[in-house]
A = this chain, B = another copy of it.
Amino acid sequence: MCKNYVVALGLLLCVAKSNAQNNAGGNYAQYVNPFIGTGAIDKNSLSGSNFPGACTPFGLVQLSPDTRENPDDPASGYDYNDDSIVGFSHTHLSGTGVADLFDFLFMPYTGNVVWNAAPTKSDSGYRSSFSHSQEQAKPGYYSVQLLSHQVKAELTATAHCGLHRYSFPAGKPAHVIIDLDHSLNKKRPYWVCKVITAHIAVVNDHTIEGYRIITGWSRLRKVYFRAEFSQPFASRLLKEGGHVIENGEVANGGTVKAVLNFTAGSTPVLVKVGVSAVSAEGARNNLAAEVTGFDFDGIAAQAWSNWNKELSVIATEGSEEQKTIFYTGLYHAFTQPNNIADADSSYTGTDYTVRKAADGTHYSTFSLWDTYRAAHPLYTLVQQQRTAGFINAMLRQYETYGYLPIWQLWGDENYCMIGNHAIPVIVDAYRKGIAGVDYQKAYEAIKASSLRSHPGSPFNLLEQYHYFPEDKQSQSVSITLEIAYDDWCVAQMAQQMGHTADYTYFTKRSMYYRNLYDQQTGFFRGKNSNGEWLPFNPLAYGGNGGSPFTEGNGWQYFWYVPQDVPGLINLVGGEKAFQNKLDTFFTLTAKPEDVNGNASGFIGQYAHGNEPSHHVIYLYNYAGQPWKAQQYAAEVMQQQYNNKANGYSGNEDCGQMSAWYIFSAMGFYPVNPASSVYAIGSPQLKKAVIHNANGKPFTMLAPAAGGNNIYIQQVLLNGKPYAKTYITHADITSGATIEFVMGIKPNKKWGTGADSRPPASTQ
């Protein structure tokens, strides 16, 4: 299709088209099940922490039911195991381990006017029971029957707006409460969550405006809204602290709410809500730009169509369950980063100043420690224009803040996790030729972020000790290893740009990981500044401080040298020893007391529920035993993903857990996400077609895949036998066809030749 187009209009136009536009015809949104990841198996296990509500791809507004007054865990606000709903708030996080956002709770209810979700001594509260049998979710649409109130609530969204449709029962007093204090539990110990101030103004008999200024995981957010109702409210009450103002016009303070009273009739009450992270004017403009009228079904159809377009970048064949997991994964991967700029390109920067984004967008919610591994490589493949947008937003943080994002939430750095993994994202984009980024500026940012000491990255210590000493920087082993990887990335970009001295410097620093290798134990091990090793138990977990390991143990972090796997193999004494160590890793059971809450999804010490393990399966390819990678990759896909609420074995982490599946199900995975090299695993889909932006589709065929046919018997690349255990990015973008011949028994010869092992990178 694209070729004809090229003939007619020229290559440039065709290349400029988004991947999605090339494939608008598919029907992929039907496979999305937004309930996947919304509930854990039981209270003691991790959920995906996804939300089931309505949103658009990469949109600001994510309008979803909250099942708790003070949503905390799961961080999405919704737990499939809960049986009541407190309301619908407009902003959420998808898949994180920490809660924030939940701006602007709206809740329809009937009966007497009440102000709290939970019952009090004097009233029953507005919280409503619900049943999953009377609940529906699909891309851009959510509905639920609020059983306590006999109200059907339906939600849909545009990029900056939510649209609610409430069908009230006849003959009962009908209310909508707007609660600007709905938020996470303020008593959580690890940071202050506080509404600094909030504002509600009654603009006219069908319009409410307001904002809240809140400090939380994001240290400071300003969020504004304008809500227009489809019919006038007959009366209203405002609440300011403990004071109720009947038919009030304005309320300011830390705790402000409004109850709007409607004359219940046969027509549902609709409300459209424009949201802005910039200003009240921004909220008004966003609403005017995106939702004229109250065409709920039209907006919902548009959201569906937008999702369908975005999901069409990859066409697949496989079982219904596989396609459901795959497209729901793609949906979760495309749920963020969010464009927090207004429709007019205004955004609030890290310095709390409003500017206009030259490229029209300002993305945020960068859970980089998670997403640089596979989610960003996925974006680099199928969201190229947005990848440039992501990077431009990261560079704006550098310009005002001094270094690139670590974990950026709604434009604000929160320093969650470790490393500087904006670097691999940018280097990967540079090496893959993603257009729309000033790479001179990007290199400056990368270098500054690798030299300027900042929280979690005290480079002065690295200069002095050539590793991070645990007595001066906690999580020191994980940080030493992860920064060594980032350094390798800087070196690659330096080399390609001709910065030879930088290449030498960062290449040297990228080898510092070796300084924490303890020959005696055979592990990376914490060391103090005096050179003494710390006491060590490779099964003992660290959390986020207080231990040399970050959300993992010595076993899981042993494998974190994606930039130099041959070097790691040498460290342990060669390929055989490395194979043995991998075998032990996948079979060694931990004592329950050694395991912490961040780890789940175990195969031996492999913990698929958190990110440090994600690349390890594929390391078998580097050691001449690719069939073991196939075995474990298939095991994870078949046993740790499903199409139910507990469909992920740990937090979905802003697309990373999904991206692992998306790559792996197509048969390959980016072990080193900036290398342009993908290690081959065990395709689960029978076919996958990646609609490259250049118009040359890449086709993966595995007609026998599925069930027990998890082992590769043979591979054909463009029809020719192929014995390498990796493919390159160039293979994909060239429009190649790769065919996997799958079988029930491992072919222990395929992929074991001398040149079959994945290289460090394509250069």
Contact = CB atoms under 8 A, between A and B. Distances in A.
Interface of A: 192, 194, 196-197, 199, 201, 211, 213, 215, 219-220, 222, 224, 240-241, 243, 245-246, 248-253, 278-281, 351-354, 400-403, 413, 448, 452-455, 458, 460
A275 to B, nearest CB: 15
Contacts of A243: 453, 455, 458
A46 to B, nearest CB: 30
Contacts of A352: 211, 213, 222
Contacts of A201: 402
A455 B402 contact: no
A658 to B, nearest CB: 31
Copies in the complex: 2
A296 B246 CA distance: 58
Q: Which of A211, A352, A452, A455 has the most CB of B within 10 A?
A: A352
A246 B452 contact: no
A245 B199 contact: no
A351 B278 CA distance: 10
A425 to B, nearest CB: 21
A219 B352 CA distance: 15
A279 B455 contact: no
A211 B349 CA distance: 13
A192 to B, nearest CB: 7
A353 B197 contact: no
Contacts of A413: 252
A246 B199 contact: no
A187 to B, nearest CB: 15
A211 B353 CA distance: 11
B219 A453 contact: no
Given A245-B453, A279-B353, A453-B245, A250 B220 contact: no
B279 A249 contact: no
Nearest to A276: B353
Nearest to A201: B402
19 contacts: A192-B192, A196-B215, A211-B352, A213-B219, A243-B453, A243-B455, A245-B453, A246-B460, A248-B452, A249-B402, A250-B402, A250-B403, A252-B454, A252-B455, A253-B455, A278-B353, A280-B400, A281-B353, A354-B354
A536 to B, nearest CB: 26
Nearest to A280: B351
A318 to B, nearest CB: 46
User: 8 tightest CB-CB pairs across the interface, nearest first?
Assistant: A250-B402, A279-B353, A245-B453, A249-B452, A197-B219, A222-B352, A196-B219, A196-B220
Contact of A280 (B252, B280, B353, B460): B353
B353 A240 contact: no
Contact of A351 (B279, B351, B452): B279
Contact of A455 (B224, B241, B455): B241
A196 B219 CA distance: 7
Nearest to A215: B196
